[in-house]
Amino acid sequence: MSDGTLAKFLKNPGDRVEVDEPIAQIETNQLTIDVASLEAGVIQKYVAKEGDTVEPGTKIAVISKSGEGVAHVVPSEKTTDKAASQPPPVELSEEDKQKPKVKSTQPKCISTAPPKRSTTEPQLPSKERERRVLMTRLRKRVATRLKDSQNTFAFLTTFNEVDMTNLMKLRSDYKDSFVEKHGVKLGLMSGFVKAALSGLQNQSIINAVIDGDDIIYRDYIDISIAVGTPKMQPF
């Protein structure tokens, strides 16, 4: 790993951690790595923040061995802003205090509602109904690879009828033992991949690519399958 993105912290300043206990997660282009504490103690502070790009050996936290019970309290930002925004009180003189109060005679402003839009007038969606979510490093890498694949490979769709009697029988015979061993159901994807593998081995031209004026025949087969994981969810 050359570098990665500091995805999130698993502990807060003031928390006690043990040796090899994960305190943060680093996200690379291909996987997420837990950062374990090298010593037992109390986290005094973090010297990096979430979203930073870090390299191996980068210092991200300060841990005190003798800092049990250390707590870091940060004043509330809302309270500080509210106190700073209030103007100082104005002191009145004795003469001003004795003056009678005069009520304002200015007429009240009457607000008129905006005219109703015509049902035929097009309305643009409000920006308040949109959400902008920063993509993770892994998701950006997947998006880049998908776009590269679209630009460099030919895509086609074809439909063929096949006899799946043997595959359905195989799935029926092993589905219970498969769930018991792996904790997931046995689907049909494995059979589809095996069929594609046999076809690529039998017809090597299907596995070839064009590079300039040359045709490159590959003596290996690399099949990628998109799967849904919590890391790949946008929200």
pLDDT at 58: 85
Q: Contact at 8 Å (CB) between 7 and 39?
A: no
3-class state of residue 43 by DSSP: strand
Q: What is the pLDDT of residue 132?
A: 76
In sequence order, what E strands does the chain have? 4-9, 16-17, 22-27, 32-36, 41-46, 53-54, 61-64, 209-211, 214-216
pLDDT at site 57 = 85
Residue with tokens 């200015």: 106
Dihedral in degrees, nearest 10, Cα atoms 225, 203, 205, 200: 10
Q: What is the pTM of this model?
A: 0.39
Q: Which domains does the chain have, with CATH numbers?
A: 4-64 (2.40.50.100), 156-232 (no CATH)
- Output the pLDDT for position 168: 93
pLDDT at 181: 92
Residues of the chain with pLDDT under 50: 68-87, 104, 110, 234-235
Q: Are 41 and 61 in contact, with CB atoms under 8 Å apart?
A: no
Can you give the pLDDT at residue 138? 80
Residues 185 and 175: beta-carbon distance below 8 Å: yes
